[in-house]
């Protein structure tokens, strides 16, 4: 019997029991839709984490001043005052370092006319914005000359704009904090929350020397942002940075570091791995419903073999071979799983789109998840359809003809 004839017979047999065929395929439909939707949620979460980490710079390292000890009491990170601007300048000479941005930070109560807002003022150099890949929404950045002159200018984030200025244009206005008045020369584009949940837009950036001299009255710095050439370089230059700063701070071998290095490339790698595991876990949980759908196909096909025993006997008596019977029932199972897979793909894509529209989930339907789900549906059809098909093909014609 030709493949076309076997396909026609399989379709006719399923069409005679349309409702039962639909209910049988329902398990596969739900399974495929669940796999696509769950993987889309996982992929969306992975993209969201990646975008948050990219906004911080995945090739960047952050060097912070370390902790100090007084009378046996150890203070937290950032309590030593040993990091200097000269340390940052020395780091520029290391191979693999693209840019270096020293910084200081202070919490302030910023004021504009009758409005005030508690935020932070970061003293930075113009390189900081390149290291963080943070463009301007309007205005301009302060220059290296303004850093050298400790000019009273600043660049502000979108949260500060909203809280202090509202609908009033911020460019050219003057913000007051403590004893310092800074003119707003630029407004940064919105970055949103960081990977740690903090608002990256709730900040005022001023020239490093302005904050050091006019606001805090210090000569040291709180931290250094170091941009590596790539993620691999971010890992390889850490030992060199440690060695250089220890030498500059004249630390003996038995002394602890008076600074800390935080590698964002390491954080990004860990977060990406966790997101991938999360995505696979969601897909694995959803694939259980595919397994249930396959069991449903096998049960219904076994019932169909029992109901059509006499038909099988007649076909064998008329010359049908065992392979013809096997392929007919196997094709029926494949049609059920294939049709269920197609409908499930459409349902899964629709479910993912609905989640993206009506909830805060970020979803991303990937081609590999569609191929995987549809391929799994076909494999389920073959695996669970093979036993009923083999059972039908091994019936003895004389016994099948006597079956009532």
The pLDDT tens digits of the residues spanning 130-139 come to 888 899 999 9
**How many other C-beta atoms are found inside a 10 Å radius of the C-beta of residue 358?**
8
The reported pLDDT for the residue numbered 73 is 42
Selected residue with higher pLDDT from 294 and 401? 294
Average pLDDT of the segment spanning 87-112: 92
Cβ-contact 314, 397 below 8 angstroms: no
The Cα 7–Cα 183 span in angstroms is: 78
Q: Per-residue confidence at 257, pLDDT binned at 50, 70, 90?
A: confident
Query: Given a cut of 70, is residue 26 above it in pLDDT?
Result: yes
The Cα 160–Cα 179 span in angstroms is: 19
Selected residue with higher pLDDT from 18 and 255? 255
Nearest to 343 by CA among 34, 29, 35: 29
Scanning 218-263, the segments in alpha helix (DSSP H) are: 231-236, 238-248
The reported pLDDT for the residue numbered 162 is 94
Q: What DSSP state is assigned to residue 178?
A: T
Nearest to 283 by CA among 103, 34, 115: 34
3-state helix, strand and coil shares in percent for the chain, rounded to the nearest 5: 55, 20, 25
> What values do phi and psi take at 261, rounded to 5?
-115, 125
Average pLDDT of the segment spanning 211-229: 91
The pLDDT tens digits of the residues spanning 279-321 come to 777 677 767 777 777 777 777 777 776 666 666 666 666 666 7
Instruction: Copy the structure tokens of residue 333.
Output: 């199972």
**Residue 245 CB contacts under 8 Å (≥ 6 apart), including other chains:** 63, 87, 257, 259
What does each C-alpha distance from 343 to 28, 331, 354, 377 come to in angstroms? Answer: 9, 18, 16, 11
Instruction: Copy the structure tokens of residue 189.
Output: 């584009």
Query: Given a cut of 80, is residue 267 above it in pLDDT?
Result: no
Average pLDDT of the segment spanning 370-398: 75
Q: Per-residue confidence at 14, pLDDT binned at 50, 70, 90?
A: low
Cβ-contact 156, 206 below 8 angstroms: no
């Amino acid at each position: 019997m030709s493949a076309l004839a076997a396909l026609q017979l399989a379709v006719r047999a399923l069409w005679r029991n349309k409702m039962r065929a639909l209910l049988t395929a329902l398990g596969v439909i739900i399974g495929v839709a669940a796999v696509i939707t769950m993987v889309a949620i996982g992929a969306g979460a992975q993209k969201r984490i990646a975008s948050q980490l990219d906004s911080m710079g995945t090739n960047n390292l952050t060097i912070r001043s370390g902790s100090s000890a007084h009378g046996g009491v150890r203070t937290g990170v950032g309590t030593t005052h040993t990091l200097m601007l000269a340390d940052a300048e020395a780091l520029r000479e290391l191979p693999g370092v693209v840019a270096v941005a020293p910084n200081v930070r202070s919490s302030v109560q910023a004021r504009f006319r009758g409005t005030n807002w508690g935020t932070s003022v970061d003293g930075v150099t113009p390189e900081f914005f390149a290291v963080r890949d943070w463009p301007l929404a309007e205005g301009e950045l302060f220059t290296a000359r303004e850093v050298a002159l400790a000019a009273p200018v600043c660049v502000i984030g979108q949260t500060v704009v909203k809280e202090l200025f509202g609908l009033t244009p911020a460019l050219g206005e003057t913000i007051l904090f403590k004893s310092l008045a800074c003119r707003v020369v630029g407004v940064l584009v919105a970055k949103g929350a960081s990977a740690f949940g903090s608002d990256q837009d709730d900040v005022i950036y001023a020239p490093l020397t302005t904050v050091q001299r006019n606001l805090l009255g210090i000569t040291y710095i709180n931290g250094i942002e170091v941009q590596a050439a790539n993620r691999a370089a971010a890992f390889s230059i850490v030992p060199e940075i440690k060695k250089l700063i220890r030498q500059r701070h004249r630390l003996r071998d038995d002394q602890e570091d008076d600074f800390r290095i935080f590698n964002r490339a390491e954080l990004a790698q860990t977060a990406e791995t966790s997101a991938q595991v999360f995505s696979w876990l969601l897909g694995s949980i959803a694939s259980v419903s595919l397994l249930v759908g396959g069991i449903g196909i096998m049960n219904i096909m076994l019932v169909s073999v029992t109901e059509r025993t006499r038909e099988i006997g007649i076909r064998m008596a008329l010359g049908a071979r065992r392979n013809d019977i096997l392929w007919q029932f196997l094709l029926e199972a494949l049609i059920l799983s294939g049709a269920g897979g197609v409908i499930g793909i459409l349902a899964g894509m629709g479910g993912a789109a609905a989640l993206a529209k009506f909830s805060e989930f970020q979803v991303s339907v990937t081609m590999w998840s569609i191929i995987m789900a549809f391929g799994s549906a076909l494999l389920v059809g073959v695996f669970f359809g093979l036993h009923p098909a083999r059972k039908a093909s091994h019936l003895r014609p004389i016994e099948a003809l006597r079956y009532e």
